[in-house]
Amino acid sequence: KSRLILALDFVSGDPAVFADRLLAALEPLVVGVKVGLPLALRMGFRGVCELVERYGSGYYFLADFKLADIPDVVREELALLSEAGFDGSIVHLFPMGLEEALSGVRGHDVFGLVAMSHAGSRLLDEHFEDLLRYASRLGIRGVVAPATKPGLVARARAFLPEDYLILSPGVGAQGAEPGSALRHGATFEIVGRSITASEDYYGAAERVVESQRRVIGE
């Protein structure tokens, strides 16, 4: 239906009511929902699990807890997130040593973070090539690469195996134009505040999807 993944970080009012309203309305436009610590801390992990259960048939649920621990702990975290109903998880790659932890993960996608969207992430940027190489060795579902640094998205696309997905945050609130990451080789764009903070969240999502369609149609 689109290439739009909604980042559900910032909520107003009762978090369960807010999330319910958005997810019930946006299903025709949004393919996936990314949930991380902000929502879990607001509504409790049980509340998050209820959302996953209620809307899991309409959306791909991506757990974004940016796992970055010793491999045994990452393995346990992935098993628990999978058990909670999430379809995939975002994992930091810089701790490395993840081969064995990931080899046991079945039926749950793993996305490795290879760069971040904010300007100050210099240390990660310096190791971008290493992280890409590591990501491609791991045999995972894909990577997260920033729409705000389109050159990196293009390099990721050129370097990674063809079947790797590239998820790109940084569209909207962080300045990248909707569709711009797709143009540089991303598979999906992750968009949060420009939709969730809009009074007209449906219209905001529609505008993102329209821009994406123009790029895909090019």
* Residues catalogued as catalytic: 66
Q: How far is the CB of 140 from ligand BMP (least distance, A)?
A: 15
Supply the DSSP symbol for 19: H
CA–CA–CA angle 20, 65, 115 (5° rounding): 115
Our CB check for ligand BMP shows the closer of 194 and 212 to be: 194
Our CB check for ligand BMP shows the closer of 62 and 106 to be: 62
Our CB check for ligand BMP shows the closer of 179 and 192 to be: 192
Q: How far is the CB of 114 from ligand BMP (least distance, A)?
A: 9
Q: How far is the CB of 191 from ligand BMP (least distance, A)?
A: 5
**Residue 142: which of 113, 171, 169 has the closest Cα?**
113
Our CB check for ligand BMP shows the closer of 103 and 169 to be: 169
Residue length, the chain? 218
**Residue 98: which of 156, 137, 132 has the closest Cα?**
137
Q: How far is the CB of 63 from ligand BMP (least distance, A)?
A: 11
Q: Which residues contact 177 (CB under 8 A, 6 or more apart)?
A: 171, 211
Centroid of chain to Cα 2? 14
At 14, the amino acid letter reads D
Q: How far is the CB of 137 from ligand BMP (least distance, A)?
A: 21
Q: In whole angstroms, what is the distance from residue 61 CA to residue 19 CA?
A: 13
Backbone phi, psi, residue 7, to 5°: -95, 115
Which residues contact ligand BMP by CB under 6 A? 7, 9, 34, 36, 64, 116-117, 144, 146, 169-170, 172-174, 190-194
Backbone phi, psi, residue 76, to 5°: -65, -40
Our CB check for ligand BMP shows the closer of 40 and 218 to be: 40
The radius of gyration computed from the CA coordinates of the chain, to the nearest angstrom, equals: 16
Q: Is the CB of residue 190 less than 8 Å from the CB of residue 169?
A: yes
